[in-house]
Amino acid sequence: MHRIPRRSFVIGAAAALGAGRALAQTTAPTPLPPASSPYAQLRGGTPHHLSPEQESQRVFDSTAPAGPPGRWVARAALPIPRSEMAWAAVVRGQMHIVGGYGEGAVNRDYHHIYEPAADRWLNGAPLPRGANHVAVAAEGDLLYACGGFVEQNRRSDALAFVYDSGSNAWRPIAPMPRPRGAAAAVMLEGRLHLIGGASEPAAERASVGWHEVYDPKADRWTALKPLPGARDHVGCVAHGGLIHVIGGRFNTFEYNTTLHHVYLPARDTWELRAPMPTERSGHGLVVYRNRFWAMGGEGGEIVGGVPRQARVYGQMESYDPASDTWRQHAPMLTPRHAVGAVAIGDWIYVAGGGAVLGGAVQSAVHEAFTLG
């Protein structure tokens, strides 16, 4: 399996740097070949072939009314199988995915950049410290990365960074007021909203409803009204001056939800909207053609290391904010959860993710959807 060239850095020195100084100055992102295998096990990081039982976890059915089916096509595979990065963001028309599980470890500093025009992946400056479930959002040339877990879906931190695509370098920003991972990050009117997630103590990893906003000009965080239903692994988008938080889980994927809350900034309050048809967490959510598109996710439980009622979702469902209604479309070719998903041009790109319930198997699969 191809291994990405690694860059070394010293965490202690990085923490000592001021917010105005870059953590690492690098050359421009360099091209990377695709992974030699579509799947790998977390344990050992070795190539993996899905068993019939694992493939049986895949589900595709939706209860939503049918909409235009659209179509899925394969795109260049990720450089390595990876998962639990959970989110992605668009900078300069390119998809950026940071952190996650891969190559047998859960605290990777990966930073992969996808160029749609060339259908290729680049190796960007690594995240200043490895973590999984890092919340990301972008505006202009900047990519923000907040929090995350440094162990397997547990033990969060409060570190936050910003990446400048012009210099291909990261620098620290003011730490979050409280540590958490698997939160949702979204930009609205020049400020970064961080919503939900899970926090300490690590043994509990309980969901939180915290809602904090970062002002880049002041390099300061302030608190806003919390999400009414504390949860993590949600889908989150900003549209029409509002923020929508859809689905997610209460503590574990055994307690997924279809809840759909919308945040009204003018009143600093939340309201309910039509629930997502398929209850799930770890799904992607993007804005495409003025609708919200949800794909992937997982559900079930793991008892004594054995999955029960395990589900990895392939459903593609879209929401119309004007009519407050949902529809279903052609499902994903390869169901996955904790994916990197973005909309660029007339395509939705969905890369990587977990191929089975939990974090045991990573994927390099990359597929794109369009209504054509």
Using left for φ > 0, alpha for ψ between -120 and 50, and beta otherwise, residue 52 falls in alpha
Q: How do the pLDDT tens digits run along the chain, 372 residues long?
A: 444 343 333 333 333 344 445 665 558 999 999 999 999 999 999 999 999 999 999 999 999 999 999 999 999 999 999 999 878 999 999 999 999 999 999 999 999 999 999 999 999 999 999 999 999 999 999 999 999 999 999 999 999 999 999 999 999 999 999 999 999 999 999 999 999 999 999 999 999 999 999 999 999 999 999 999 999 999 999 999 999 999 999 999 999 999 999 999 999 999 999 999 999 999 999 999 999 999 999 999 988 888 889 999 999 999 999 999 999 999 999 999 999 999 999 999 999 999 999 999 999 999 999 999
Domains detected in the chain:
11-370 (2.120.10.80)
Residue position matching structure tokens 């959002």: 137
Output the pLDDT for position 23: 61
Query: DSSP 3-state assignment of 127?
Result: coil
Q: How many residues does the chain have?
A: 372
Output the pLDDT for position 24: 53
pLDDT tens by residue, 118-157: 999 999 999 999 999 999 999 999 999 999 999 999 999 9
Output the pLDDT for position 12: 37
Q: Which of 308, 313, 321, 322 is nearest to 355 (CA)?
A: 313
Q: What is the rounded distance in angstroms from the CA atom of residue 231 to the CA atom of residue 247? A: 9
Task: Provide the token pair at 56.
Answer: 């049986």
pLDDT tens by residue, 319-337: 999 999 999 999 999 999 9
Query: Does the global pTM surpass 0.75?
Result: yes
Output the pLDDT for position 10: 32
User: b/e for 102-126, b at 16 or more Cβ within 10 A?
Assistant: bbeebbbbbbbbbbbeeebbbbbbb
pLDDT tens by residue, 208-241: 999 999 999 999 999 999 999 999 999 999 999 9
Q: What is the rounded distance in angstroms from the CA atom of residue 372 to the CA atom of residue 70? A: 7
